[in-house]
Amino acid sequence: MSALGFEVDLDHAGAPQLHERLASRRVLVTGASGILGAGVSRSLLEAGNEVRTLQRRPSGVAGAQDVLGSVTDPDAVAAAVEGVDTVVHVAAMVSVSGREAEFEAVNVEGTRTLVDAARRAGVVRFVHISSPSVAHAGSSIVGEGAGPADPRQARGPYARTKAAGELIALDADSERFRVLALRPHLMWGPGDMQLTDRIVQRARAGRLPVLGSGASLVDTLYTWNAVEAVVAAVSAVDDVHGEALVVTNGEPRPVGELIAQIAMAGGAQAPSRRVSPRLARGVGAVIEKAWELPLGLGRLTGDGEPPLTQFLAEQLSTAHWFDQRRTREVLGWEPTVSLDEGLRRLAEYYAAR
């Protein structure tokens, strides 16, 4: 089993049915050293496409041509897009805290550099991986579609810069350069270090509270389903473009229940300590500011991420689930792994470790 954990899914799911819809293409995938980019790269290779990747370290994807570099480097980007007809842009700075300028450099200017270079190189398809947080202003989202990205209303530097990056990509859409933005929502599964392993490790350490009742309904997305949705978008962008789609499993669950299930699948105890959402937001705002000071908590503790931020407190205490009809219509895709099956595979993954 690899560190990415996709062998768990491949053993059970087999080759995606979506492969048969893809013609042979020359595809650049950015951010292929991460779980989503690597999974998409492998899936596209299995479908008979040529795949090139761009990221700062080797992707580890057998059969792909790696270009080492950053989306912030115009020379590396120019080399990566030369001769390809399709770009899947996964690379991003993803964190719940950090300096705005660092997010801006990657998520905004990096996207602008990639879009401009792709258009000059004659790329005809561009699938941009965004986030539902680009349209989240802090209140509940109940059964809605993909609202417009709004950097002014988005919460925190990650969401603000992802919103600006999505607008750059979609503004470039045309008949000759077809752009489709996907917003995977709360992706989790074997090998995911951004959300899944943090839940498990913090639950093991007793540092994972439940905010309020934990009853707010949230949508999430199992990792293998995310890969299949992106592969479907590479085909769908030929027919539908110029819009954003939220992608989820379509199975809203109470956030407290789902976090407990992920923690237990990882061999940890379900969290039992409860904190009021109002208190969590206030404390999160204070921690977030203290974390970024020159001699702040981040440097003193050596942790890469603060335990709580205002954005994280809002995400864990408000409902956010989405109407998936437009997404499934455009992509011609439905999730192949249910939440319950995903939890079973997650438990299998952690048991094997």
Indicate which residues carry an active-site annotation: 158
Q: CA–CA separation, 132 vs 319, rounded Å?
A: 13
> 195, 183, 166: which is closest to 229 by C-alpha?
183
Q: CA–CA separation, 245 vs 243, rounded Å?
A: 7
What is the pairing mode between strands 320-322 and 187-188? unpaired
CA separation (Å) from 139 to 205, 283, 308, 332? Answer: 30, 18, 18, 30
> 191, 140, 326, 194: which is closest to 248 by C-alpha?
326
| Cβ-contact 313, 208 below 8 angstroms | no
Q: CA–CA separation, 249 vs 184, rounded Å?
A: 10
For 82-91, letters b (16+ CB in 10 Å) and e give eebbbbbbbb
